[in-house]
Amino acid sequence: MNTRMNAEKRESSSSRLTRRQFFKLSGLALASGVVLSSSAVALANQVGELSIERVQLPIPGLPPAFEGFTIAHLTDIHLLPYTRPEFIREVAAAANARNPDLILLTGDYVWHDPGAMDELAPILAGLDAREGVYGILGNHDYWLDVEAVKEGFRQARTPLLINQHITLARGEQKLVLAGLDDGWAGQPDLAATLDGAPADAPILLMLHEPDLADVYAPQAPFALQMAGHSHGGQVRIPGRGPLALPYLGRKYDMGLYQVGAMWLYTNRGLGEISVPLRINCPPELTLFTLTR
């Protein structure tokens, strides 16, 4: 079963503009100072306007000790030149203020300049959750400078899970957090990721590209995949949907889905690439609450 779990109607790929058309349209909108409109509804640029999305998820087999377990999910920061450090500091403060059990980061941390990791590392170091802060890598991390990204995480003393898992324990009860390497530019290895994981514990998966849910959901008993990558399209027109979506982010582009027995959530991300524009698609901090 591949079911969209929110009310928005699915859009056909044939109705989407190409990326070149998207960039041209976005540039014209910015140059003229005119925002797109549909059905007489004015659509304003939402860059820097954080939306906090709260998602309660029933997890089959969730141990009683993890009832009400909370996760703050951040993704696609793309720091500089469009996404500013002061905005990400505000997001970090908002995540910390919710007192989550985990804070998870699912890839694409900087965009144009790998040196931006020097500004991002102290912000990551300030994230605080009871059970820790963990990240994975995205395609842009590899394309720009993956070693610079890894060094920034080392400076922040924040672990990256690259084909690895950790086991969270409360007494004898356990929950597994797994991180696969990026599915587009990296080398994901599912067997290595789950090697030694307790067989009876629910598994939470971090994997940057949402459309890879179709590949990995049938292979392991994942309870939830947390993804980013798509940015929700950055510009969404009512009745039409996103103007452009990336490879591996076209099928499950935003929000909550069920893929087989696994939940999938695609976060719209925090930053922007190509144009500093978000319409009907504000940057997102997701707060999950797990229930039995």
142-189 pLDDT, tens digit per residue, is 999 999 999 999 999 999 999 999 999 999 999 999 999 999 999 999
Please name which of 173, 224, 207 lies closest in space to residue 56, comparing C-alpha atoms. 224
Alpha-carbon span 271 to 91, nearest angstrom: 11
The one-letter code for the residue type at 58 is P
- Residue 148 domain-assigned? yes
At 34-70, the pLDDT tens digits run: 344 443 334 599 999 999 999 999 999 999 999 999 9
Alpha-carbon span 8 to 195, nearest angstrom: 38
Is residue 178 within 8 Å of 205, Cβ to Cβ? yes
Q: pTM of the entire structure?
A: 0.87
The one-letter code for the residue type at 185 is A
- Residue 177 domain-assigned? yes
Q: Which domain holds residue 205?
A: 51-291
Cis bond upstream, residue 81 (ω within 30): yes
Alpha-carbon span 55 to 290, nearest angstrom: 9
pLDDT at 224: 98
Alpha-carbon span 152 to 159, nearest angstrom: 11
pLDDT at 3: 43
- Residue 14 domain-assigned? no
- Residue 262 domain-assigned? yes
The CATH number for 106's domain is 3.60.21.10
Please name which of 132, 104, 129, 105 lies closest in space to residue 117, comparing C-alpha atoms. 105
- Residue 18 domain-assigned? no
- Residue 89 domain-assigned? yes
HEC profile of the chain: CEEECCCCCCCCHHHCCCHHHHHHHHHHHHHHCCCCEECCEECCCCCCCCEEEEEEEECCCCCHHHCCEEEEEECCCCECCCECHHHHHHHHHHHHHCCCCEEEEECCCECCCHHHHHHHHHHHHCCCCCCCEEEECCHHHHHHHHHHHHHHHHHHCCCECCCEEEEEEECCEEEEEEECCCCCCCCCCHHHHHCCCCCCCCEEEECCCHHHHHHHCCCCCEEEEEECCCHHHCEEECCCEECCCCCCCCCCCCEEEEECCEEEEECCCCCCCCCCCCECCCCEEEEEEEEC
Domain tally, the chain: 1
- Residue 167 domain-assigned? yes
- Residue 140 domain-assigned? yes
pLDDT at 43: 58
Ranges of residues in the chain whose predicted pLDDT is under 50: 1-42
**CA torsion through residues 182, 80, 241, 268, sign:** positive
pLDDT at 36: 43
Tokens describing residue 7: 């009310």
* Ramachandran angles phi, psi of 237, nearest 5°: -100, 125
Tokens describing residue 132: 């820790």
